[in-house]
């Protein structure tokens, strides 16, 4: 006779819960290991270029970009090291401070312009919904500021960067690190955005060295500087 296989007992609720907890713990351990390995890779990379001239690092960055033509994690790490090296020798001269404040004010002005353009559109769309528009049932808006990096060509004319470090900076800024407001479904989503919060002044950051105690530093500048692997103070 053919031997009958014993059926496994049904998995109880407690057993399922335990299985899920073990699975979640395993996922956390894997995630932590990935973060740990990633940090180790970054610090090894930083150590490699710590005493190298910036030109050597930029040659490596350009070679990586030319080979991959995409913004991957290694490129971001290399750009973070470049940012660190440049900022390490940066000085807050009166000229640099003026340029930084000018960039800060541009962000403030552009966000105010975005708000002024977006609010009437939001009101118009909301009214169409209230009037039972047969086409429009809901909407979703996103607003963002798109910076462009321009360089002089061989004839001295200013044009958008197409190669070199400027091209990489342009790519990362526009595709990955543009300050924006998303998920806009009503007027308050933009008018009450953190980008218009005048109570949150980022002049408190330690890297400003107290140079902007009497100035207002915007959320957009904080995003660009604190969350970006590419923004160096010399590029203001």
What are the tens digits of pLDDT across the range 86-128? 888 888 899 999 999 999 999 899 999 989 999 999 999 999 9
3-class DSSP assignment, residue 116: helix
State yes or no: pLDDT of 162 exceeds 60: yes
Mean pLDDT of 201-219: 89
The more confidently predicted of residues 30 and 210 is 210
CB 80 within 8 A of CB 226: no
The domain ranges of the chain are 13-88, 94-235
d(CA 95, CA 90): 12
**Predicted pLDDT of residue 148:** 78
**Predicted pLDDT of residue 143:** 84
Got the DSSP string for 156-214? S-EEE--SHHHHHHHHHHHHH---EEEEE-SHHHHHTSGGG-TT--GGG-GGGTTTTTT
The more confidently predicted of residues 218 and 228 is 218
Mean pLDDT of 56-75: 89
Mean pLDDT of 52-71: 89
Query: What ranges make up the beta strands (E) of the chain?
Result: 141-144, 150-152, 158-160, 180-184
CB 67 within 8 A of CB 168: no
**Predicted pLDDT of residue 201:** 94
Mean pLDDT of 42-67: 85
Mean pLDDT of all residues belonging to the chain: 78
State yes or no: pLDDT of 71 exceeds 90: no
**Predicted pLDDT of residue 10:** 52
What are the tens digits of pLDDT across the range 175-203? 655 667 777 888 888 888 888 888 899 99
**Predicted pLDDT of residue 176:** 58
CB 193 within 8 A of CB 186: no
Q: CA dist 20 to 12, 13, 26, 85, Å?
A: 12, 11, 10, 45
**Predicted pLDDT of residue 123:** 92
Give ∠ CA 80-82-87 in degrees, rounded to 5: 95
State yes or no: pLDDT of 52 exceeds 90: no
The more confidently predicted of residues 36 and 200 is 200
pTM over 0.75? The answer is: no
**Predicted pLDDT of residue 174:** 73
**Predicted pLDDT of residue 33:** 44
What are the tens digits of pLDDT across the range 79-96? 888 888 888 888 889 999
């Amino acid at each position: 006779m053919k031997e009958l296989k014993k059926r496994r007992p049904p998995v109880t609720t407690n057993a399922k819960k335990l299985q899920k907890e073990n699975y979640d713990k395993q996922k956390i351990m894997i995630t932590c290991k990935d973060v740990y390995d990633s940090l180790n890779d970054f610090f090894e990379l930083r150590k490699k270029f710590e005493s190298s001239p910036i030109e050597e690092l930029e040659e490596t960055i350009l070679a990586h970009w030319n080979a991959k033509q995409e913004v991957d994690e290694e490129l971001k790490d290399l750009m973070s090291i470049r940012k660190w090296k440049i900022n390490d020798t940066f000085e807050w001269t009166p000229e640099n401070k003026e340029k930084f404040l000018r960039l800060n004010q541009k962000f403030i002005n552009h966000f105010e312009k975005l708000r002024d353009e977006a609010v009437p559109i939001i009101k118009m769309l909301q009214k169409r919904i209230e009037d039972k528009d047969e086409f429009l049932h809901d909407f979703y808006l996103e607003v963002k500021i798109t910076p462009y990096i321009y360089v002089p060509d061989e004839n001295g004319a200013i044009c958008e960067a197409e190669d070199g470090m400027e091209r990489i900076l342009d790519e990362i800024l526009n595709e990955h690190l543009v300050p924006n407001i998303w998920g806009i479904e009503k007027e308050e989503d933009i008018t009450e955005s953190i980008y218009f919060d005048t109570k949150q002044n980022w002049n408190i950051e330690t890297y400003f060295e107290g140079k902007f105690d009497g100035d207002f530093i915007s959320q957009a500048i904080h995003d660009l500087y604190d969350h970006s692997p590419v923004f160096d103070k010399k590029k203001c």
